[in-house]
Structures are given as structure tokens and as C-alpha cells.
A and B are shown apart, each in its own frame.
Chain A
């Protein structure tokens, strides 16, 4: 469950962006389907990690980014569920991964008190 460590990182990153006393209401994340991270597990750990911080009770909005790839042979682009998926058109692999590896904190919403 490295999601615990990731949830702690999320809390730290967000806290570094606000004044003390502010309350963070929402946190927007981008989690790629190929990142090796389970979005639901992050959600599960986040609540506990946020306790006693500016993020306590904050809503986590997770934008799940699809895995997409381009075939080096037939040049078509398509969705992939795993990095080793072959091209659905000509069965070539490996394919060039275009998106889906990221895990980022994209935006927060703050209530200044």
C-alpha cells in the first residue's frame, strides 16, 4: 500500500501552497491508468492523512487519465489498459505510450479564514 505514502505527499504538497489558518476544501488529482496507483486506495488513505491538517474533511476529486498509445508501425493511436498491450490494429508491441503515466496534484480550492 504505497498509496499511504502518496497520500502523505499530496497533503504536504497542498499545505505548502496555503497560508496557515486557511482551509483546503477540494483537491484535484490526475491519476493515470498506467501509473501503477489505485485511485480508490488513494481516496481511502487520504482521509486519514488529512486529519489534523488544513486538508481535514477536504473533498478529493480524482481525474482518471486514460492510457493512450501510438503504434510505431501503423501509426494509429488507441486506448491501452496496460503498458504492454499490443496495437489492436496490427498486434505490434511495444507501443509508444502517450498518456496515462501521470500522478499529479493539479489544483486546490481554498477558503481563507
Chain B
């Protein structure tokens, strides 16, 4: 039967449309993310081969990811060999900030892209001496939605949430917090000036992801940073 007018294609009356050639159905059944996932697997294998502990830092813009990295690198790079991949839509500001700590850094500019993907990471890895690397930090594009969907091959996603953003963020952006193994609640030095409810925020994060580990920190004052360093050292040892 013809889809346009419901007539029999063998009919003889004249009308104004063509009858399309028969269509062939092809079954595909493929995950839309399959290409990214297979590249992430390749990255993961490379990390394993070189015993590199890789973390993917995700957050909304301005939560303090770069500040966290600057401080962590300054305080720990005497003992641990770090490298950093910076993801931003534009500028290499963050890479310049990291470079000042003396740690190798590579900037990826995603242009219109709102997240890093496994393909970009695979190429960025060419810029490092993987044989002499213990911990790789990947600072994702500031965005609480898109980076959640793209596996980069990292061991863990670490979500940074600053207290100025409001305690309801884990519920509003559940995919991000569900896919993260750690939440760093940053800027706690500002709590006296805000109505941010820490207990509620942690409860919301645990509701979305009961296994998430939460550390309350202030990059500015250094409060709680030792809990983050301990986790980092412990996990890096166990890979």
C-alpha cells in the first residue's frame, strides 16, 4: 500500500506523487556511545600498562577545579609524578596556571564542544612521558551535564561542588553525581556567609549515589585537604 494516499501501487489512476522504491530494513542495535566507550577502554588499558592513576574532575564552571589542582600539585609533587590535561572551550588560562607549578600539562580546547571525550584524551596522552607518570588529572570542561555521559578511561570521576552553588545540585544533576565516586565539597570557608545546608547536600548526594565518598574542603584555607590527599594516596597505591 502507498503511504501517501493508501492506494494500491499497481493501480492505474493518474496522481501527482511517486511511489518510492521498496525499503530495506537493517538491524543495528548499537549503543550510541560505542565508539567513545571503546576508545575509553583503550585509554584504560594504557593507564593499566603504565600503572597510571587517572582522575576525571567534573563540576560546574568556577567550583575550584584548577585551584584544587594548583594546590594539590604544589603540595604533593615532591613525592608523586603528576601530569594534567586541561579541558576548556577556549583559552589556555588553566594550562598556564598549572604550568607555573612545574607539572607537565596539555590543554585541549573543545571549541563549541561542552565535554571532553575519549578520543581527545587518547591524543593528549601523546604529549606525556607515560613511563614516568604516577597520577594523571583530567580537568573536564566546567559543565554539570555533558561530561557525565562520556567515559574517558579514568579510574574515577571526582565531582567538585562549591557551597555557593546550592545544596540541591546532586538532585538537579543526578547523572553527574551518580557517575562520580568522590564529591569534594569546596569553599567551606564561605559557609558562614551562606545558607548552604551541608547535611542536606550530603544526604542528596548519597541518595543519588549511596557509595559516593564526600570530603569537605577549602582550597583557600587548606581545611580538609589532608582527607583528599589521603584518599588520593591510598587509591593510587591500590591500582
Contact = CB atoms under 8 A, between A and B. Distances in A.
The DSSP consensus for interface residues of chain A is: mixed
B26 A18 contact: yes
A88 interface: no
B204 to A, nearest CB: 8
Interface size class of B (residues with CB under 8 A): 20 to 34
Given A5-B113, A9-B35, A110-B23, A105 B30 contact: yes
A112 B28 contact: no
B138 interface: no
A9 B33 CA distance: 7
A25 B29 CA distance: 17
B28 A106 contact: yes
A100 to B, nearest CB: 12
A111 B25 contact: no
A72 to B, nearest CB: 11
Contacts of B112: 4
The DSSP consensus for interface residues of chain B is: mixed
A1 interface: yes
Contact of B32 (A10, A17, A107): A10
A9 B178 CA distance: 24
A105 B32 contact: yes
Nearest to A18: B26
Contacts of A110: 23-26
B148 interface: yes
Nearest to B150: A2
A53 interface: no
A1 B28 CA distance: 25
B114 A2 contact: yes
A6 B25 CA distance: 22
Given A13-B32, A36-B148, A37-B149, A107 B26 contact: yes
A1 to B, nearest CB: 6
Contacts of A18: 26
Contacts of A104: 28-32
Nearest to A7: B32
B30 A13 contact: yes
B207 A93 contact: yes
A71 to B, nearest CB: 15
Contacts of A107: 25-29
14 contacts: A1-B146, A2-B115, A2-B145, A4-B113, A94-B207, A103-B31, A105-B28, A105-B29, A106-B29, A107-B27, A108-B25, A109-B26, A111-B23, A111-B24
